[in-house]
Every structure is written in structure tokens, then in C-alpha cells.
Amino acid sequence: MPARVVTLQIDGRDVTARDDQMLIEVARESDIRIPKLCYVSGLSSYGGCRMCLVEVEGTSKLLAACTTAVTEGMQVRTVTPRLTEYRRMILEMLFAERNHVCSVCVSNGHCDMQWLAQHLGIDHIRFPYVYPNLPVDASHDRFVLDQNRCILCTRCVRVCQEIEGAHTWDVMGRGAQSLVITDLAQPWGESESCTSCGKCVQVCPTGALSEKGRSVAEMSKRREFLPYLTMMRGETGNE
Amino acid sequence: MNERKPTLATVWLDGCSGCHMSFLDIDERLLELAQKVDLVYSPLVDRKDFPELVDITLVEGAVSNEEDLKKIKKVRAHTNVLVSLGDCAVTSNIPGMRNPFGVRSIIDRAYVDTVAIPRPAPSTVIPRLLDRVRPVHEVVPVDVFVPGCPPSADAIYKVLSDLIAGHKPDGKSNLRFGA
């Protein structure tokens, strides 16, 4: 069935969209930027980071804008005191859960998480830090995986499967103990499926994946390639 | 408004002194600040004991050993507005990077594993390390947070100016974790 055109309101503005589009994408087209960490344009939606929670008239639940399709007459608010407080809380929990030491991180100054914390006015973490002991995998010739900085957004997993078609990355374990792994939790350098394309590194929102040899604050990511690749492959993907 | 100028103290726990350096980097504005406050206690001031009551105290560094712990409790008890200055005080930052490994393994690394003739780690005079390095607000209540490694001179100047003028900083000074 072909997509229909619907009209809705985001932050009081009337917008039109196709009914197969997600809220976050429609908002972006109208220059309304909803905070996000796991969503990245050109990959499937995961709905894991909960940064893009929005309020929708008629439901008391907060909905993730990256997994909520637009409907006719929908009224959406993307910035409210309640949303800001939840976004802060979620981000603070991410900071407390692993060892995000911005001052010595390769991604210092180029990090989505650091930027978002600043943007949301976070000046300290209200939750006790967990300080888990996590490994760093530097076995690959060109790239490094630092689990200390990983927020489990699965951008690496999705780009590897959906764009590169290698499916080197996956997630092991449950909850806060989950880890992103290469192949069957083998060292990245020994992975037989990895093509060393580096797309995972470029989409990673933090310093969890970086190019080898980058020092503090030297790892800026290049994301521009992703929409083009998606476009060239056609919009059907693996759906 | 009475005649008395507000009093200011600065304290240095487990940090690199970079935040104090950044404080000094406010340059000629220090002269202006000196007109408005009395600096009563600091690594830059020759005074042994923390005063009875200080209006504003800036704390640099995380709480890492027994002396830090004793010091910060005393400072808190004798301070009106306590300011966590910099990432070590706010997040535990670099000092906190030992936390995942445990205190035993880092003492071994310093005194046993990496020396030609191992000697026991000092057990007197030097304060004992705490099991975990903690940001200041996990130990005592903190009133104002100034993250950054280090916070810029401008940020420190703005926060201090606000506090001296008697109002709480608005938190919109564009501060962030890291450098």
C-alpha cells in the first residue's frame, strides 16, 4: 500500500509527512532537533537510548521518536521540563554505568554524549559511579575498541549488518553487563568476517570505537557517508 | 550590606593543581577580585588551619585518601558555599581511574611490580589510600559544580563573580566534562 500524507503538530508547528516516517525524521526535516544517541539517519531504529522520548497528546506514556510512526492529527512536544529531567537522568545513568573519563578520551570535544550532557546542562552525576573493570581490545591493526566508553547504542552492530553486510559486531550478555563483541567474542584482530571498512568507528557516538594512533581529543568521526550509502542501496534495505 | 568582604578559600585534594593554575589564569582580573574578597586559606596562602567560617570555598581534586576525607569534612563544616572545581572534584576523573582495579593492585604496581628491589609500600606518614576514589559530592554536600579539565579561567571568574555578588551561578556558563 502506498504511503499516505498526514499532517501533525510538533512543538506547535504544523508539518506534513508520509505515514511511514518516524517522528524523529519528520522533526529533523523541519529543523526540530530531538536529542538522540542510538538513532542515526540511514540505519534501522533501535529505540535503546531513550534520549528521543517525546510527549504525545492523548497518551500518558513517553514515546521514543525514533520508533514512533507519525499519524494524522498527532500533537507532539519535544521539549518540556519533564522530558528534560528524564533525558538528564538517563544520560547521568549512562555516565555512572561505565568509565567515561572525558578529559583523557580520544573523542573529547567530538563526542555526542559529552555534547549532549553540556546541552542538557548536566554539571555533575547524581548517581554513584559503578567503576566496572572493562577490557580494551587493541588487537585490530587499525582500530581500537574501548568498552569503558561504550553506551550499547548498537550503531556499530547495525551499520556492520545493514550497510557493510558483514555482521561482525553483535551484543553479548544482558543488561548493564552487555558487551559489544566481534564474531563469537573473539579478538577483533582475529575476526574473519571483519572487512576493516571502519564504518563502525565512524558511526560510534563516543570514544568506544576509534582509529589506532589517535590521542586525546583527536578522534573526530565522519558520518556523512552513511545517508549516501543508504540512498545508493535503495530505501528497501533488508525489510 | 555590612563592611566585611566575603571570605574565599581554595583547597587542593587529589588533583594536578591545574584548576588552581586556571584560577590564576584569570590574570589581571585577580586584582579586581582581590578588592572584593579576602583570600583566607589556600595552597597559595601561608596558613595552617582552615578558618572557623569561610563564605566561599573552591575544592580542586577528588577524595582519594584518609587525609582528603578528613580535610573535606572539616572544610564542609566550616564553609557556607562549597564549590566543586574541576572534573576531579566533580567526577573523580583521572584519580578515579584506579577504581576498577582496586587499591591493592595499584600499590603493587607502584612499589613491587615495577621496581628492581621491591620494598613494602609505606604504611606510616603518608595517608592511607581509600578503597575507592570519590567525587566530592559523594562524600559531603556540594552547593555549586564547575566541571572541566580544567574549567576555563573565564568560567571560574564568572562563577566567582556570581557568588561574590551573592547569587547562585545560573549554570549556563557552557561548562562541560573534559577539556
**Interchain contact, B178 vs A108, CB within 8 Å:** yes
Mean pLDDT of the region A170-187: 97
Q: Is the confidence at residue A238, as pLDDT, over 60?
A: no
pTM, entire model = 0.93
Q: What per-residue confidence (pLDDT) applies to A235?
A: 56
Domain parsing of chain A, residue ranges: 5-79, 84-235
**CB-based contact (8 Å) between B11 and chain A?**
no
In CATH, the number for domain A5-79 is 3.10.20.740
- Is A185 at the interface with chain B, CB within 8 A? no
Which distant-in-sequence residues (6+ apart) come within 8 Å of A114 by Cβ? A102, A105, A107, A108, B176, B177, B178
Quick count: other Cβ atoms within 10 Å of Cβ B102? 13
CATH architecture of A84-235: 2-Layer Sandwich (3.30)
Chain B nearest-CA distance from A136, in A, is 13
The answer to whether B178 contacts chain A (CB < 8 Å) is yes
pLDDT digits (tens, 9 = 90+) for A215-230: 999 999 988 777 777 7
Q: Does ipTM surpass 0.85 in this model?
A: yes
Say whether residue A104 is in contact with chain B using an 8 A CB cutoff: yes
In chain A, the percentage of residues whose pLDDT exceeds 90 is 90
**Residues in a beta bridge with A55:** A62, A77
Residue B16 to residue A176: CA distance in whole angstroms: 32
C-beta separation of A206 from A111 below 8 A:
yes
Q: Which residues of chain A lie closer than 8 angstroms to B84, CB-CB?
A: 124
Under an 8 A CB cutoff, do A121 and B94 touch?
A: no
Using the Cβ of A218 and the Cβ atoms of chain B, whether some distance falls under 8 Å is answered with no
Cis before B150 (ω within 30): yes
Over residues B85-116, the pLDDT tens digits come to 999 999 999 999 999 999 999 999 988 899 89
DSSP H or E run through B40: strand B38-41
Does residue A113 belong to the interface with chain B, where contact is any CB pair within 8 Å?
no
Closest residue of chain A to B139, computed from CA coordinates: A128
* Structure letter (DSSP) for residue A21: S
Give dist(CA B31, CA B34) in Å, integer.
5
Distant-in-sequence, close-in-space partners of A170: CB < 8 Å, separation ≥ 6: A157, A180, A181
